[in-house]
């Protein structure tokens, strides 16, 4: 896949996204440098990816136009890591297009933020949609809206129409002037593990012959009923939780044929997504101590919920954690899983995951750091904020020109003001994390537990490598096991040992060595030859 670079101030790069699109072949990726791009894009019959460069803040601003900021017809479009803005027009509009929008912020004002029409497949994943008249409109399309937050919408948060059947999972829809989700015109979506709050009318409205499946939906603090079904509608409501809504909380109008399956909150937490997530935890390689600690936290939260239900007192519990250990030991993966567990247990509303480092929190002048830190913190409310290499914030605390201490002080205050609205996980080397906790007198008391991540053994790294190889549709020759184990034994005690990162680097090297070996055959390799990684490939990669 060809990659084109957009960077107005970089010699040799394209100055605008539009100019790159003019020369981009089908299937190309356009990597965009940090900056604000006052452009609108119209694509017909194109297949293209628009992505922010790693760590870059890229704003695609169509605020000056009354047509869509991004419009795609009859093609394939991926948007990754961008902020797309509109005022008078739709921010993202697609027809008959395979659309992927991942880790984007999409903002509008007078029209829908995202409109998907007559598309066979779309994915909106880990996005924030805000400020529009309607958050997301799906008409006659099938796809997925996953782990996405829709908030501060003047009308309806999500509209599903014209027989559409998307999956809406793990989302948060809040502060909407109209309904949280409106399902009509014979649509058949599945809405699962989703929270809806602070709506001007009902949380979920179902009309015009629609038959949705609603599973483990939480609706609270709505001016209207929690869920309403109009005459002629059907579907299933299973494991719902409706609190502080207008009455009746679940309104089934005469003529609606809806199957309602009651489940207590304890049953939902005990039997469904929590067990699935714990099974996912168990499938991870190694980490026996970490797994035990996470299970102990889940047990404590569940028992507290049972005590609360029984009318017994429950002590205050902090969900902030310290992950201590070397790189590549699964800290980020466990942090993501922890957020999902907290959501499944009803502790946090969305289980979202935001990963940041020092550069995302620390500014360049007095006051800038507190502003940056507060912005990151507020965007992470309701989920997990993961601060990697957190000790770098305190490394230069004695230097008046360093603002890391300002970030730590701001975090301590924010953690106190929002103690039940977020889970913060700080991660880094064990010794350095002790220095980090000493940087503010109130910091250590904010964290409930330190979880130690041990280095992987050579045998565990071999299993991790085998999984990576299989995930890339390769096969590892059995004879390659001994040289792999020998290699991991040799590097395991080095000062810069990267654990699973070493396995990933080695797999990439093995693939490269295989490519060179097969090219030297002077003929087309067989399917078996294309799949197998041999001991020679291991030796070549480990020597590099």
Tell me which residue of 153, 151, 156 sits closest to 137, measured CA to CA.
156
| CA 25 to chain centroid | 30
Q: What does the pLDDT look like over 336-394, one tens digit per residue?
A: 888 888 888 878 877 778 888 888 888 776 667 888 888 888 888 888 889 888 888 87
Q: The tokens of 120 are what?
A: 């066979």
Query: pLDDT band at residue 268, thresholds of 50, 70 and 90?
Result: very low
pLDDT over 90 percentage in the chain? 45
Q: Could you say which DSSP state residue 10 is in? A: S
Beta bridge partners of 206: 183, 229
Q: Is the pLDDT of residue 265 over 50?
A: no
- Taking CA atoms, 91 is separated from 106, 133, 135, 455, in Å, by 7, 11, 10, 46
> Structure tokens of 257?
């044929």
Q: Is the pLDDT reported for residue 287 higher than 60?
A: yes
Listed in sequence order, the residues at least 6 apart from 432 whose beta carbon sits closer than 8 Å to its beta carbon are: 391
The whole-model pTM stands at: 0.54
Question: Between the CA atoms of 295, 300, 305 and 309, what dihedral angle is there, to the nearest 10 degrees?
Answer: 130
Summarize pLDDT for 463-522 with one digit per residue, the tens.
888 888 887 788 888 888 888 888 887 777 665 666 788 888 888 888 898 899 888 888
pLDDT interval class at 47 (50, 70, 90): very high
Q: In 304-343, which positions are buried (b, 16+ CB within 10 angstroms) versus exposed (e)?
A: bbeeeeeeeeeeeeebbbbbbbbbbbbbbebbbbbbbbbb
Alpha helices, H only, 310-448: 331-344, 358-361, 368-379, 404-417, 430-437
Nearest CA-CA partner of 352 in 325, 389, 391, 378: 378
CA gyration radius, the chain: 25
**According to the model, what pLDDT value does residue 76 have?**
96
The answer to whether residues 101 and 119 touch, using CB atoms and an 8 Å cutoff, is: no
List residues bridging with 117 in a β-sheet: 95, 139
CA dist 382 and 172 (Å) reads 9
Digit-coded pLDDT (tens) for 165-181: 999 999 999 999 999 99
Name the one residue in this structure whose structure tokens are 């356009």.
30
Task: Report the candidate in 481, 535, 269 with the shortest Cα–Cα distance to residue 278.
Answer: 269
pLDDT of residue 506: 84
- Indicate the SS3 state at residue 327: coil
Nearest Cα to Cα of residue 41 among 55, 54, 24, 27: 24
Contact 156, 182 (CB under 8 A): yes
User: How sure is the predictor about 146, in pLDDT bands with cuts at 50, 70 and 90?
Assistant: very high
Quick check: 234 and 211 in contact, CB under 8 A?
yes
pLDDT tens digits, residue range 58-95? 999 999 899 999 999 999 999 999 999 999 999 999 99
Structure token pair of residue 495: 């000062």
Alpha helices in 388-499 (DSSP H): 404-417, 430-437, 458-471, 481-491
Q: What is the mean pLDDT of residues 321-333?
A: 85
426 φ, ψ to 5°? -105, 140
Contact (Cβ atoms closer than 8 angstroms) between residue 302 and residue 345: yes
| Per-residue pLDDT, 509 | 87
Report which of 388, 317, 323, 397 is spatially closest to residue 359, judged by C-alpha positions. 388
Query: Is the C-alpha dihedral spanning 2, 471, 504, 449 positive or negative?
Result: positive
Could you give the CA distance from residue 41 to residue 60 in angstroms, rounded to a whole number?
Answer: 9
Averaged pLDDT, 140-155? 95
For the stretch 182-202, pLDDT in tens is 999 999 999 999 999 999 999
- Are 429 and 472 in contact, with CB atoms under 8 Å apart? no
Domains and CATH numbers, the chain: 3-263 (2.160.20.10), 270-453 (3.40.50.300), 458-543 (1.10.8.60)
Q: Give the per-residue pLDDT at 225.
A: 95
């Amino acid at each position: 896949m060809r990659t084109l670079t957009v960077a107005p101030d970089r010699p040799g790069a394209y100055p605008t996204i539009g100019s790159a699109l003019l020369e981009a072949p089908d299937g190309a990726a356009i990597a965009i440098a940090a900056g604000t791009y006052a452009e609108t894009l119209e694509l017909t019959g194109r297949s293209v990816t628009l992505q922010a460069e790693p760590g870059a803040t890229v704003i695609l601003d169509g605020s000056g136009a009354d047509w869509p900021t991004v419009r795609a017809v009859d093609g394939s479009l991926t948007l990754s890591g961008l902020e797309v803005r509109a005022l008078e027009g739709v921010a993202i509009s697609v027809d008959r297009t395979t659309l992927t929008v991942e880790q984007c912020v999409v903002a509008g004002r007078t029209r829908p933020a995202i409109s998907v029409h007559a598309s066979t497949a779309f994915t909106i994943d880990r996005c924030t949609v805000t400020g529009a008249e309607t958050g997301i409109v799906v008409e006659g399309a099938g796809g997925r809206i996953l782990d996405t937050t829709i908030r501060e919408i003047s009308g309806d948060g999500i509209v599903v129409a014209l027989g559409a059947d998307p999956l809406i999972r793990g989302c948060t829809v809040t502060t909407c002037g109209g309904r949280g989700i409106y399902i009509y015109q014979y649509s058949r979506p599945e809405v699962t593990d989703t929270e809806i709050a602070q709506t001007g009318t009902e949380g979920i409205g179902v009309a015009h012959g629609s038959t949705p499946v609603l599973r483990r939906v939480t609706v609270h603090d709505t001016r209207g009923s929690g869920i309403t079904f109009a005459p002629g509608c059907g579907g299933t409501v299973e494991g719902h939780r409706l609190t502080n809504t207008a009455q009746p909380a679940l309104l089934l109008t005469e003529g609606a044929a809806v199957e309602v399956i009651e489940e207590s909150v304890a049953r939902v937490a005990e039997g469904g997504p929590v067990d699935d997530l714990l099974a996912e935890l168990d499938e991870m390689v190694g980490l026996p101590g970490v797994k035990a600690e996470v299970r102990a936290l889940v047990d404590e939260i569940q028992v507290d919920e049972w005590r609360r239900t029984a009318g017994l007192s429950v002590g205050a519990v902090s969900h902030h954690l310290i992950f201590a250990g070397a790189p590549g030991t699964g800290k980020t993966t466990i942090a993501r899983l922890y957020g999902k567990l907290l959501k499944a247990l009803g502790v946090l509303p969305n289980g979202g995951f935001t990963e940041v480092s020092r550069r995302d929190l620390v500014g360049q002048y007095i006051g800038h750091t507190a502003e940056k830190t507060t912005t990151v913190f507020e965007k992470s409310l309701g989920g997990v904020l993961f601060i990697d290499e957190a000790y770098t914030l305190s490394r230069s605390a004695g230097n008046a020109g360093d603002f890391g201490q300002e970030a730590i002080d701001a975090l301590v205050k924010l953690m106190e003001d929002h103690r039940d609205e977020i889970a913060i996980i700080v991660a880094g080397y064990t010794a350095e994390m002790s220095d980090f906790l000493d940087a503010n007198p109130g910091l250590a008391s904010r964290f409930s537990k330190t979880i130690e991540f041990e280095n992987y053994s050579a045998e565990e790294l071999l299993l991790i490598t085998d999984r990576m190889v299989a995930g890339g549709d390769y096969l590892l020759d059995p004879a390659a096991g001994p040289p792999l184990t020998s290699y991991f034994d040799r590097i395991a005690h080095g000062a810069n040992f990267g654990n699973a990162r070493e396995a990933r680097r080695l797999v990439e090297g093995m693939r490269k060595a295989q490519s060179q070996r097969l090219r030297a055959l002077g003929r087309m390799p067989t399917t078996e030859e294309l799949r197998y990684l041999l001991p020679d490939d291991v030796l070549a990669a480990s020597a590099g």
